[in-house]
Chains A and B, each alone.
Chain A
Amino acid sequence: MMIKAYRYIKARDAVMRGIFLFCAVFAVLALGCICVFLFAEGLPFIGKVGVSNFFGTKWHLDSGAYGILSMIVASLYVTGLSTLIGIAIGLFTAICLYKFCPAKAVNPIRQLITLLAGIPSVIYGLFGMIVIVPFLRDNISSNGVGYGILAASLVLSVMILPTIVSISLDALNSVPRSYYEGALALGATSEQSVFKVMLPAAKSGILAAVVLSIGRAIGETMAVIMVIGGSPAMPGSLFQSVRTMTANIAMGATELSGDAATALVSTGVVLFCFTLLLNTSISLLKGGFKRESKSA
């Protein structure tokens, strides 16, 4: 009787172990499949059309020109500008919430900012398309075009705010309070201690926030497509219809076939390499952060 029960338990354990193992490797498998698909489809295509064609400036499917350089540049511009705006606003928001905001208001504001992160990106895109683009077109732009890098950057900067604010705030909060008190004791004002002592001490965390938001910005698709314009032209102005790599993939994915569709996969390879680079730098930063806090 006992042996039977024991066997049953053992078998059950084995089954459950199998299930858990499967769950554990599922994500890894998915990553592997995506990588294999991307590189197996995309890389040969780059070889086939030639590196100089693929990284050229001309994208015109009918004449076999698959240059995505203008899109890489547009992606970098949009990502850079949105991160700049996002950091400028987000970092000061975090500092304000950390020290200069009435204590009662901190949590509600934080909650509301976190709520921003929950808004679907297509709604950001819709807002950008219906409010920001016409506003830029009629009031700011000199050439009557509202679409472009600035519109996309503005929309994206709001999207990445929650990431920057919450991670920077956590980083600030994790700096020992004694730093602040020590600075005050040495005669610094509250502002001086926050900006000159607390902020540098939290820099690793803030840097992580920046890299994470860059990752979000470079990969965002839906909101960007709706406000970027979509012309595969080399960016020359903030108010010019351009196309990012993500937009290129999503705009063509349902319509194109044959070589043109494969070109989109190859665009995906380049995009994937960029995000891979970012993720690696995040892990490196995190490693640095840990070592630093150990030595502190």
Chain B
Amino acid sequence: MKKILTSLALVAAILLLLCACNGKSNFDKTKNISVTTREDGSGTKTAFMEIIGLKGKEDPANVIMQTGTAGILTEVKGNPAAIAYESLGYVTSDVKMLKVDGVEATVANIKSGSYKISRPLSVVYKESSLADDVNKAFFTFLQSSDAQKIITDKGYVSVVDNASAYTANGALSGSIDVSGSTSLQPLMIDLAAAFEKLQDNIKVNVSGGGSGTGYKNADEGVSEFGMISEEFAIEKAASCTHSIVCKDGIAVIVHKDNPLATITMEQLKNIYDFEAGSNAITKWDALIK
């Protein structure tokens, strides 16, 4: 019995040692790329797939799916062969961000539009609805420094420079309806809550439905503001104009030991496309020469 116990303890010790050693191993570029993605329905995933040109496509067969930001970061931090994407605001220094087409994922580059994997989150509205003081107040609030602070705190990229603070007008009362993109919805709910705090008598109702709903509701006057998470397309809401609330940047991240510095949109597409066929990139040595 004692012998068995001692040998068991030995085996356990060896296993632990192996684990410890492997933590420090150097990058092995002959390994398969461990393609990591978010779960279906995630806003970040939908945006990422759309921007790299894979809107509505299936995931590659061996994709590792992580639920939530933390799962993605843990995986990339621990797995030298992993590649993943994450909203810029959530990326920590435990992982390495790749340049995309040679452009670094920074707030400045997203603002200027030179970093490709980003998208504007906008509101669409009828010019005439701003004649209403209540609507105008909310619109002004969205451009104010109060709103920019919330936008930055939530990990989005503010596009308004030198914003001034919002001054509440106690005389206003009424309600505003905002609907559309579920990507902008969580941020809009926070913005609306802050606005309601400043303007006691104005109620802002925020609902989802998708960008299509956003266009439609704004165009038909169902909502004062529609939310969209794509470049504004005038043909989808002819009577409307738009204003960018903020931008959302998605960083491509790899393990810290990974020597790769930059990746192209084409390469990303061939990594994440289940139909890439002979173009598919599955091993790191296809990217690292």
Contacts and interface: CB of A to CB of B under 8 A. Distances in A.
A176 interface: no
Contact of B41 (A146, A233, A255): A255
A163 B34 CA distance: 35
B42 interface: yes
Contacts of B25: 138
A144 B64 contact: no
Top 7 A-B residue pairs of the complex, sorted by shortest distance between their CB atoms: A230-B65, A255-B41, A62-B56, A138-B22, A256-B41, A251-B39, A144-B31
Interface stretch (A19-27, A47-55, A76-84, A128-136): A128-136
A60 B208 CA distance: 22
B264 interface: no
A143 B40 contact: no
Nearest to B5: A105
A96 to B, nearest CB: 8
17 contacts: A134-B19, A135-B15, A138-B22, A139-B18, A139-B22, A144-B34, A147-B64, A225-B67, A230-B63, A230-B66, A230-B67, A231-B62, A231-B64, A241-B64, A243-B65, A256-B41, A257-B41
Interface string A100-121: 1110000000000000000000
Interface stretch (B74-82, B89-97, B127-135): B74-82
Contacts of A250: 67
Interface residues of B, number: 31
Nearest to B56: A62
Contacts of A240: 62
Interface in A216-257: 225-226, 229-231, 233, 240-241, 243, 250-252, 255-257
A211 interface: no
Contacts of B19: 131, 134-135
Contact of B39 (A146, A241, A255): A255
Contacts of B58: 60, 63
Interface string B143-172: 000000000000000000000000000000
Contacts of A230: 39, 63-67
B18 A135 contact: yes
Interface in A276-294: none
A60 B55 CA distance: 12
Contact of A144 (B57, B67, B81): B81
A14 interface: no
Interface in B6-33: 15, 18-19, 22-23, 25, 31-32
A34 interface: no
Contact of B40 (A61, A129, A137): A61
Contacts of B40: 61, 251-252, 255-256, 260
Interface string A191-234: 00000000000000000000000000000000001100111010
Nearest to A229: B64
A49 B39 CA distance: 22
Contacts of A38: none
A103 to B, nearest CB: 12
Interface in B180-215: 208
B39 A145 contact: no
Interface in A136-174: 137-139, 143-147
Nearest to B19: A135
Contacts of B34: 144-145
Contacts of B41: 61, 252, 255-257, 260
A145 B62 contact: yes
Most B-side CB within 10 Å, residue of A63, A102, A240, A241: A241
Given A139-B18, A255-B42, A129 B65 contact: no
Most buried by A among B1, B65, B208: B65
B75 to A, nearest CB: 8
B65 A134 contact: no
B22 to A, nearest CB: 4
Given A139-B22, A255-B41, A229 B78 contact: no
Contacts of B273: none
B59 interface: yes
Contacts of A101: 1
A240 B35 CA distance: 12
Nearest to B49: A62
Contacts of A145: 32, 34, 62, 64
A88 B116 CA distance: 54
B67 A231 contact: no
Contacts of A129: 74
Given A135-B22, A138-B18, 9 more contacts: A62-B56, A101-B1, A131-B19, A134-B23, A139-B22, A144-B81, A230-B63, A231-B63, A241-B65
Contacts of B66: 230
